[in-house]
Amino acid sequence: MATQTPQKERRLPVGTLFLALLVVIFLATAIVRYGMGLGAMTNMSDGRGWGLWISFDLYCGVALAAGGFTLAAIVYIFHMEKYHPVVRPAILTAFLGYLLVVFALLVDLGQPWYIWKMIFNPNIHSPLYEVGWCVMLYTGVLALEISPAVFEKLHWSIPLKFIRMIQIPLVIAGIVISTGHQNSLGSMMLIMGNTLNHLWYTPIMPLLFFVSAAAVGPAMVIFESTLSGKAFHHEIGLEVLSGLGKILRYPLALYLVLKVGDIVFAGWPHFNELKALGTEYPQNFIWFAEVILGVVVPIILFSIPKIHQSRKGLFVSSIFVIGGLVFNRFNSSLLQLAIRPGYSYFPSFGEFAVSIGIVSGGILVFMLANRFLPIAEHHEESAEHKSDEAESASVK
């Protein structure tokens, strides 16, 4: 008599359970924050206007979500159809990134339930007013841009046709809003004045923020596509990732020219800023590390032919770009900001728990979206093409 082998129980992967645990810790921390206030679970004080949440969740999060508007512009405005397979993953990443920014702001704001008053009490001279509107508008645009994946899954043809009708206006609106948002984050730092170290403070900071975001957009797509390809077994074509690596060299090079040119000519004719790079330690070391590792090294790497023929090489090179941008945003919005005498600041456990938990939640949603929605369009299209070829071959 044959014995039946017992079926193995399907269990959630350990990584998924760990991410879920981090989200639970975030929710518990958020409850404490809303119940007892910011002072009960953060180390923030009157010595500085903000802490970890603004620097990491807002300044880094918005920039790292730039893949949405850069890839949309590359495909729909410049008609580079070669990169169409990575548009939807890039827009999904951008949409989740902006949602995470919203959640982080709701935790960071002292009384977030009054945020709706900003709509009816405009202050057109405030960079924060522009930031608030850009977050709301661009999140809505990204939701519409990613909605075809949901409509295709549900087989809702009428709303799908409508979204496709307004696709180009949506893309243009997203590019305009996101451009304004990246600039406005730089504009916020202009009001810091002498509080921000002079090696980072510059009148062209809004332009630097936008150009660096345009460079990190393709890098994030390379990074995310490589990881999701391994996890969900739908690898993007190497020629697509290689092309993105070649494209991002240009905004990186422009950023390098602007960054170095600002230092050289800011103290003209005495070259005060340039002299400071040789005397002000450790700020000069940090500045060089940021520029060399985050800009110069990836420009060189993405210019090497062997890198373009290697997924690992492209992935590692993209990490340099992403790491350089994160380092710059932390320097510009936290590390190089002076703190009032008598105060000190280091993030509390609750502040780390909120940031890590929010990112973990975004990764979980990204995984679910890739599992249940047609995000990797290129994979399905290639599969259908192969099945058609197989069918025609069998008929022959």
CB atoms within 10 A of CB 306: 8
Give the sign of the dihedral formed by CA 191, CA 197, CA 198, CA 200: negative
What local confidence, expressed as pLDDT, does residue 24 receive? Answer: 94
Task: Tell me the β-bridge partners of 196.
Answer: 337
CB atoms within 10 A of CB 50: 15
What local confidence, expressed as pLDDT, does residue 117 receive? Answer: 82
What local confidence, expressed as pLDDT, does residue 393 receive? Answer: 42
What contacts 24+ positions apart, CB below 8 Å, involve 337-341? 337/48, 337/192, 337/195, 337/196, 337/197, 338/194, 338/195, 338/196, 338/197, 339/47, 339/48, 340/46, 340/47, 340/48
Check if the beta carbon of residue 74 is closer than 8 Å to that of residue 80. Answer: yes
Give the sign of the dihedral formed by CA 33, CA 36, CA 41, CA 42: positive
First to last CA, the chain: 46
CA quadruple 331, 333, 338, 342: dihedral, nearest 10: -120
What local confidence, expressed as pLDDT, does residue 8 receive? Answer: 47
What interhelical angle do 127-154 and 167-190 show, nearest 10?
Answer: 150
Length of the chain: 396
Q: How far is CA 37 from CA 34, 104, 319, 351, in A?
A: 6, 15, 36, 13
154: left (phi over 0), alpha (psi -120 to 50) or beta: alpha
Q: What is the distance between the alpha carbons of residues 156 and 15, in angstroms, rounded to a whole number? A: 34
* Domains of the chain with bracketed CATH: 21-33+46-373 (1.20.1630.10)
What local confidence, expressed as pLDDT, does residue 387 receive? Answer: 39
Tokens 């941008």 belong to residue: 325
Q: What is the distance between the alpha carbons of residues 256 and 39, in angstroms, rounded to a whole number? A: 40
What local confidence, expressed as pLDDT, does residue 10 receive? Answer: 53
Q: What is the distance between the alpha carbons of residues 204 and 313, in angstroms, rounded to a whole number? A: 33
Q: What is the distance between the alpha carbons of residues 194 and 336, in angstroms, rounded to a whole number? A: 11
What local confidence, expressed as pLDDT, does residue 191 receive? Answer: 86
What local confidence, expressed as pLDDT, does residue 128 receive? Answer: 81
What interhelical angle do 205-232 and 167-190 show, nearest 10?
Answer: 130
With a CB cutoff of 8 Å and minimum separation 6, the contacts of 1 are none
What interhelical angle do 238-266 and 283-291 show, nearest 10?
Answer: 150
Q: How many CA atoms lie within 13 A of 338 on its CB side?
A: 12
**Mean pLDDT for each consecutive 10-residue tract of the chain (396 residues)?**
49 80 92 88 86 91 89 89 90 92 88 82 82 88 93 92 92 89 88 87 92 93 89 84 93 95 80 81 92 96 93 95 95 90 90 94 91 70 40 41
What local confidence, expressed as pLDDT, does residue 45 receive? Answer: 86
DSSP code of residue 76:
I
Q: What is the distance between the alpha carbons of residues 141 and 72, in angstroms, rounded to a whole number? A: 12
What local confidence, expressed as pLDDT, does residue 11 receive? Answer: 61
Check if the beta carbon of residue 333 is closer than 8 Å to that of residue 306. Answer: no
What predicted TM-score, i.e. pTM, was given to this entire model?
A: 0.86
